[in-house]
Structure 1
Amino acid sequence: MHADARTSPAPHTADDLVTAAGADHVRLVYDYLDAGDLDACASLLHDDVALDLPGGPVTRGRTAFVHAHRDHLGSPARHEIAHVVARARTVVAAGRRIGPGDDSAGVRFVDFFRIAADGMVESCTRYYHAEP
C-alpha cells in the first residue's frame, strides 16, 4: 500500500527551517540573559542586530543589544516566557520580566524578533503591557 499524498506531511522549506532555528535562538537569548552569560547570548545575534526598547533609541550591534536588553528598566531581570509563536522568519515571544524588587506578577511584555537568513536574531522590538 502506498502513502496517500494528501495525508503525507508537507516538506519543510528552507525558510521553515530558518524560522525553527530562530525560535530556538530566541529561547536561548532569554536563558543566556537570565544566566548572565552575555557572550553566549551575543553568539546568537546577527552582527548588526537592532534592539528597539520602549523609552530609548534603537541600539545596534551585539554588545549594545545584550547590555541594553539586560539592563532595561534599571537592572537585570529574569524572563518567564509563556508563549512563543514562529512563522516566516518572525518569532513572537510573550511573557513576564521579573526584576529584583518586582512584585510576583512582574511586567508583562511581547517581543517581536526578526530572524536573518542565516538563522541569527536580526532584530527585536519590545512592547510592554500598560493599563488603559
Structure 2
Amino acid sequence: MDGGRARSGLRVDATLAAAVDHVRLCYDYLDSGDIDGCLSLFEPGARSVVTGSSADLPERVERLLESGARAHHAVVEVFGSDRRLAAVGRLTVDGEAYDFVDVFRVSDRALLIDRQRFVSPGPPTGSPPPDGRIS
C-alpha cells in the first residue's frame, strides 16, 4: 500500500474509513435495539444520537418510535470527506417507509460527534425491494 496517500486517484483517510464502518454499525445497533452499542460509537456528550427531534422526523414517525415500534434502516450508501459523512437510505417504521439522509460529524478518533437527519415528509412513491433491503 502507499501509506494511505492515494489509491485510484483518491486520498485514503483511515479515520474516515473507520467512521464509515461506525455509521453502518450504528444502524445495525439501532435496528436490534442495542442503544448502548450505538452510543459507544459516539463521542461522550454527543447530541441527538438516537432519535431525532420533532424537526428531524415527521410527527407520525416520531410517535411510532416513542411507542417502541421497531425500525429498520436500509442504508444505500455512506460517503463523505474531511470530517463529515452522509448516510442515504430508507427508514421503515411500523410498515411505513421514509427516505432519509443522516449527516454525521466525525472526530479524529473516528467516533461520531453528532447527527443531523433529513427525512422525506411522507412515504416514497416507489416500493422497496421485496426483501426490504436496499444494500
Question: What TM-score results when the alignment is normalised by the length of structure 2?
Answer: 0.68
What is aligned with 1:50? 47
Offset of 1:42 from its aligned partner? 1.2
Q: Distance in 1 between matches of 2:31 and 2:64?
A: 15
Which residue is equivalent to 1:83? 77
- The residue that corresponds to 1:117 in the other structure is 108
Aligned residue number for residue 64 of structure 2: 74
Looking at structure 2, the residues matched to 17 and 73 of structure 1 have their Cα atoms a distance apart, in angstroms, of 38
Partner of 2:32: 35
Q: CA RMSD in A?
A: 2.6
Distance change >3 Å, CA 10–CA 22, structure 1 → 2: closer
What are the ranges of 5 or more consecutive residues in structure 2 without an aligned counterpart? 7-11, 123-135
User: Take 1:43 and 1:25, find their aligned partners in 2: how far apart are those partners?
Assistant: 10
Q: Which runs of 4+ in 1 moved over 3 A?
A: none
Residue 54 of structure 1: CA displacement? 5.0
Q: Any idea what SS the aligned residue of 1:119 has? A: coil
Q: Percent identity?
A: 31
- For this pair of structures, how many residues does the alignment match? 106
Q: Would you say 1:26 and 2:23 are equivalent positions? A: yes
Counterpart check, 1:127 vs 2:118: yes
Higher Rg of the two aligned structures: 1
| Superimposed CA distance per residue, residues 31-61 of structure 1 (whole angstroms, 9 cap, x where no aligned partner) | 000011111111111101122835259xxxx
TM-score (norm 1): 0.69
The structure 2 residue matched to 1:92, chosen from 86, 89, 92, is: 86
* Structure with greater helix percent: 1
Distance in 1 (CA, whole Å) between partners of 2:4 and 2:109 is 22
Runs of 5+ unmatched residues, structure 1? 1-7, 58-70
CA contact (8 A) 1:54 1:126 kept: no
Matched residue of 1:55: which SS?
coil
Query: CA contact under 8 A between 2:64 and 2:94: conserved in structure 1?
Result: no
